[in-house]
């Protein structure tokens, strides 16, 4: 299929998903409020533990990029629910019996998850601003944080859609998202700096894609962040997104064998 057709189909499918979401006021309200509550709640919970600041002037400044990433990767992990809804409504079959690219179907869902994560990241950074969080990396820093959020959401969205196509049941999808999501959150520097972790968790966390996003974003926010490291981590996330999106596209085969 021509690249132009692929992009065109992807674009219109993204329009469809965003438009459908805009018709869900409760979804919009929760999407806005939930990450803000996390930031406020966790920010308060650990605010007195000085050792957790990890080079930031306040814990909330340390935490803000972590919550941005936590929110992005949770959003991505759960995004496969949309695929299950489409499978149940036969919308996917309708696309597949038409000359719709399987990759476009996946890519549209993945990009949609990225857009949602960027909007949430912006809201979090604005709330952070009000709470005294400064993005010391400047304008470029903002872009790095938003890119980290987008890529984390997209990498996990690819994975989530692959799982959705394999299990095709809400209950299994929820179990899978929890099984993967919570451990990855705790084997990461979202809430505490690696220095304060037991050594084996710190070592393990280096292979955790969630952590790649956290480090990329945190470097952009803290004073004297390591830009090269941010770049490398974003690069790793781009690669992860490519791999999981291809995995999800490949999972269409499994789905089509089953119907």
Partner 1 sequence: MDAIVAEELRKRYKGVQALDGVSFAVREGEVFGLLGPNGAGKSTTVRTLATLTQPDSGRALVAGEDVVRHPNRVRRSIGYVAQDSGVDWEATGRENLLLQGRIHGMAGAPLRARVDELLELVGLRDAADRVARGYSGGMKRRLDIAIGLVHRPKVLFLDEPTTGLDPEARAAMWVEVERLAAQESLTILLTTHYLEEADRLAERVAIVSRGKVVVEGTPAELKANLRGELVTVELGEVDGRIDTAAALVRSLDDASEVSVEGRHVRARVPNGAQAIPTILSALDGGGYAVASVTTARPSLDDVYLHYTGRDFATEDAGGN
DSSP 3-state assignment of 228? helix
Q: Distance of CA 182 to CAs 44, 52, 74, 85, 111, Å?
A: 21, 20, 9, 24, 23
256 binds partner 1 (CB under 8 A): yes
CB of 251 vs partner 1, minimal distance in Å: 15
User: Is residue 254 within the footprint of partner 1 (CB under 8 A)?
Assistant: no
What residues from 8 to 47 belong to the interface with partner 1 (CB under 8 A)? Answer: 8-9, 12-13, 16, 19-20, 23-24
Contact call for residue 232 and partner 1 (CB under 8 A): no
Minimum separation from the CB atom of position 91 to partner 1 (A): 5
User: Which pair of structure tokens corresponds to residue 212?
Assistant: 């790649």
Please tell me the distance from the alpha carbon of residue 77 to that of residue 145, in angstroms, as a whole number: 19
CB 148 within 8 A of CB 217: yes
Tokens (6 digits) for 39: 């930031």
Nearer to partner 1, 5 or 44 (CB): 5
Tokens of 195: 């220095």
3-state SS assignment for residue 189: coil
**Least distance CB 242 / partner 1 (angstroms):** 24
CA 174-175-177 angle, to 5 degrees, is 65
Binding status of residue 168 toward partner 1 by CB under 8 A: no
* Shortest CB 195 distance to partner 1, Å: 47
* Binders in 70-99 for partner 1, by CB under 8 A: 86, 89-91, 93-99
Q: Nearest approach, Cβ of 97 to partner 1 (angstroms)?
A: 4
Residues 64, 124: Cα–Cα separation, whole Å: 7
**226 binding partner 1? (CB under 8 A):** no
Nearest Cα neighbor of 183 from 204, 168, 163 is: 204
Question: What dihedral angle (degrees, nearest 10) is formed by the CA atoms of 140, 237, 36, 22?
Answer: 100
Is 122 one of the binding residues for partner 1 (CB under 8 A)?
no
Cβ 27 to partner 1, closest distance in Å? 11
Site residues (CB under 8 A) for partner 1? Answer: 1, 5, 8-9, 12-13, 16, 19-20, 23-24, 86, 89-91, 93-100, 256-259
């Amino acid at each position: 299929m021509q690249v132009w057709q692929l992009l065109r189909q992807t674009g219109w499918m993204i329009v469809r998903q965003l438009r459908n979401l805009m018709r869900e006021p409760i979804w919009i309200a929760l999407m806005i409020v939930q990450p803000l509550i996390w930031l406020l709640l966790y920010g308060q919970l650990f605010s007195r533990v000085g050792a957790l600041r990890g080079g930031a002037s306040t814990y909330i400044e340390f935490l803000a990029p972590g919550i941005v990433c936590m929110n992005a990767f949770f959003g991505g992990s759960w995004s496969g629910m949309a695929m299950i809804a489409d499978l149940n409504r036969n919308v996917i079959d309708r696309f597949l019996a038409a000359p719709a690219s399987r990759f476009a179907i996946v890519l549209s869902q993945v990009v949609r998850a990225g857009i949602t994560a960027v909007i949430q990241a912006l809201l979090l950074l604005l709330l952070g601003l009000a709470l005294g969080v400064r993005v010391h990396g400047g304008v470029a820093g903002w872009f790095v944080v938003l890119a980290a959020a987008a890529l984390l959401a997209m990498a996990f969205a690819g994975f989530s859609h692959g799982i959705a196509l394999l299990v095709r049941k809400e209950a299994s999808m929820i179990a899978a998202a929890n099984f993967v999501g919570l451990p990855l959150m705790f084997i990461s520097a979202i809430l505490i700096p690696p220095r304060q972790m037991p050594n084996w968790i710190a070592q393990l966390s280096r292979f955790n894609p969630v952590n790649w996003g956290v480090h990329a974003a945190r470097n952009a926010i803290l004073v004297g962040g390591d830009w090269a490291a941010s770049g490398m981590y974003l690069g790793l996330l781009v690669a992860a997104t490519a791999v999981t999106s291809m995995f999800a596209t490949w999972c269409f085969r499994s789905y089509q064998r089953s119907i």
